Structures are given as structure tokens and as C-alpha cells.
Amino acid sequence: MRLQLVVLVVLALTAQLVNAAWHGFDPVEDGLQIISAGTLAMLALRVSRAWSEQRKALILRVLDEFGQPLTVIHGYVSMLADGTLTSLNGHAELLQRECDRMRSVTRKLVDAIREHG
């Protein structure tokens, strides 16, 4: 994405410089247009960075949301495996809630991806 922005800025500045060379350089008009192109490029980079930061925050939140129920499920599976727990009597509902929680997070994530493209 950043490479594309850099290429676009270079093309815009090149076009502006060619135009100035062709029609004569007007320091005020051409200077303002070059500054405008640079400002637009900086704004585009900031938007790109903000989007990237939001994406990272979403990924961290999803990982945290999945980590909690997975920890609970892993604990019960470990206890069943080492014999500390011999049955799920009374624990099945808790495990079902944690699985439902993971499904809910998955649905929300899929909905958010569909909504925001």
C-alpha cells in the first residue's frame, strides 16, 4: 500500500513538474500545487497507518477473546488426560458456554469483516 502511495506521489509530482516546464514555472501556483500533492500524500499515509493500527488492535482483541475460553477448555482437557478429573459431571455446561463464547466471537468477527470489506 505504501509503495503504491509513493508511486502515485512521484507520478503526481512528475506531472506537475512537466506541466511547469511546458508552460513555464509559476512559483506561487506550481508551488501550491506541489505542496497540495505532498499534503494529500501525507494524509493518505496517515490513513493507511491508522487502518493498520486498527487492524492490529482488532487482531489482538480477537486473540485475547479466543485465548480465555481456550485456556478453560485446555485446563479441563488436561485434567481429563492426567486423571485429575474423571468425568465432566457438572463441568459440561461450563465447557459448552466457553465453546458458545468462541462461536460468538467468530460470528462477530465474520460480521465485522463482511461489513467493512
pLDDT number for residue 2: 65
Identify the DSSP state of 84: S
| Contact status, residue 45 vs residue 5, Cβ threshold 8 Å | yes
pLDDT number for residue 112: 80
pLDDT tens, position by position, 55-67: 888 888 888 888 8
> Per-domain residue ranges for the chain?
2-116
Mean pLDDT score of the chain? 81
Inform me whether the pLDDT recorded for 82 exceeds 90: yes
User: 6 pLDDT band (50/70/90 cuts)?
Assistant: confident
Closest CA to 112 of 63, 62, 60: 62
| Contact status, residue 62 vs residue 95, Cβ threshold 8 Å | no
Inform me whether the pLDDT recorded for 1 exceeds 60: no
In this prediction, residues 23-50 reach a mean pLDDT of 77
d(CA 114, CA 116): 6
d(CA 83, CA 53): 44
d(CA 28, CA 56): 42
In this prediction, residues 17-39 reach a mean pLDDT of 75
Percent of the chain with pLDDT over 90: 2
User: 76 pLDDT band (50/70/90 cuts)?
Assistant: confident
